[in-house]
Structure 1
Amino acid sequence: MSTRPWIYTGPGKPAGDPEEGLLSRAYACGCEERSATVRHGPAHTHHPADDLPSAVLFDRDGTLVVDVPYNGDPARVVPMPTARAAVDAVRARGVAVGVVSNQSGVARGLLTREQVESVQRRVEEVLGPFGVWAVCPHGPDDGCGCRKPAPGLVLAACARLGVDPARAVVIGDIAADLGAARAAGARGILVPTPATRPEETAAAPETAPDLLSAVRLALGGRRPGSDGSARPPYVACVGRVGRGPVPAPGDAPHHTPGTASGTDAPRPIGAPHATDTPRSTGGATHPTDAPPASPGTVRTAAPS
């Protein structure tokens, strides 16, 4: 199997593995390449006056849809609460949207590429179209540069969209998502679920109680510590985190990850994330996590 990510520009429509040149160098070379102007496909312009990001990239399992371990069945796709409203809010502001997803079930022999693509098509039926899908089909020992927390998926998605990774926001539910954002030079926002470890939440520079709140945080201002007066609506990180997201009017019924929802098998807190190596319950860092950031003042968006 190639060590490159799978790149799609629509539901199950492969754009081909990244060719030699700017796109492949973008994900393979990390920090040295990410500052270069990478253009592959339509460019998305940024308007400094409104301080919007150029792209918002979402993790798939546990963030956009309920995490069903190694899911290859489109019928088991269930959107997370507020997911449709969140993605639509980004689109409404003219900001590009994409998905960056580890799918190690392929390397483990539990999923085929066709199954991954069929699930992608169903996600787009439920949540609408995404400008790019960047998928890592590799296992933790395959030596790829795209498996989160490596920056490859974020860099490849940004290259395909024609945006600077420094103008992108990555939203996910575990430390590997934020590690990939940090390694690519992008902004990361954590939306904790029962599968998120307490230390992951504590180390995250920005958190939100649900996906719509995370999007409002992403669209509302610069990242913490940046110059300028624009600031998102931060509040103290208490109460809401870890108690589940708040549904918005018109969203799908609330399904807490790890609980039965008609099609979803129960998954207790601490069970394996669908696309990652099973987590240790003894507190050791699991192999898909980036080294935790130094704990600081955790900030979180106000609930939607």
Structure 2
Amino acid sequence: PNQKTAGPNEGILKKAIDSLDFEVNIYDTKQNLIYSNKKIPRAASAEHQALEETLRTGKSARTENAYAEGCGEKVLDKTTYPYKENGKVAAVIEFIKDSTEEKNAEKRKEFLELLSKSVSEEVVMIDKDYNVNFCNGAGLVQREGPCKGKCYKLLHGISEPCWKRGQDCPLVRVMESGKECLVEHVHSEKGKNNIESIKAYPMKDAKGNLLGIVEVLRNISRQRELEKKQAAIIGNASEGIAIMEGNALTFANNRFLDMTETTPEEAAQLCARLIKDVKNGDVVNETVQIDTSRGKIGIEVRIVPVPLLNKKADLVYLIEKSKE
């Protein structure tokens, strides 16, 4: 009955300390390292500001030190505690934690927030489970409230992922391919259709694992309206007008098809032949002869490289000059 409850013996205590994933060091009052749970303690060449403060004040202290390592830096978080005997400091216990990754994460977040505040388009981060984890200042203004929730609910106002409604889902595309993509969504809001251009980029961790996507959203409804008006004007023009993106014919007005007596497929081949001489973005202006059912006709051809929705395109402009 008089036997005291036995505490952990020294061997068990040492094993427990040695198993910790952070560094534990013990110093005497002359700052000599008398114990470390690491074979090569980082404390040997480290700053001792916290240690000195604890020896001076008899209280715990904490410092954060950054050291150059390779092309970056390592950040060590140090906390010291006094061990006292008869009210005096007899030793100091130091805990050292590597907080490099935490600090890098904080810096990345600060950089992302600073960068996104400078971008006028809406920028959002979406994880693999459709959760919006971040949006920039433009997103807060656009959504008129906190940017938290499922992307399809918050960004599109629907109750299920957009791919279930037949729309192209940027999250699904990026998660499947691991590459960036560009899609367009049409959303009905207050009886009006809004068209959004969505550029999605893969978001990865340090090991290259896909975590989700970063989306940049732009409302291009007004741009599309202007394009429709321009298309209507061009469509009724007395000159033949076609637009080529690479080898693909994206537009040809009726006058172009009538003048050249071609189908859209044949018009694409004709345009490809006409623009093959375009070099260094120069405008080509020359007259060519084209065979038609009316005989050979002379056509003045102007080929002008133009930007089209961040893509390179060529405008092929035809004016009928004469008939043989």
Is TM > 0.5 for Structure 1 vs Structure 2?
no
Higher helix share: 2
Larger Rg: 2
Name which structure has the greater RCO, CA cutoff 8 Å, separation 6+: 1
TM-score normalised per structure 2: 0.19
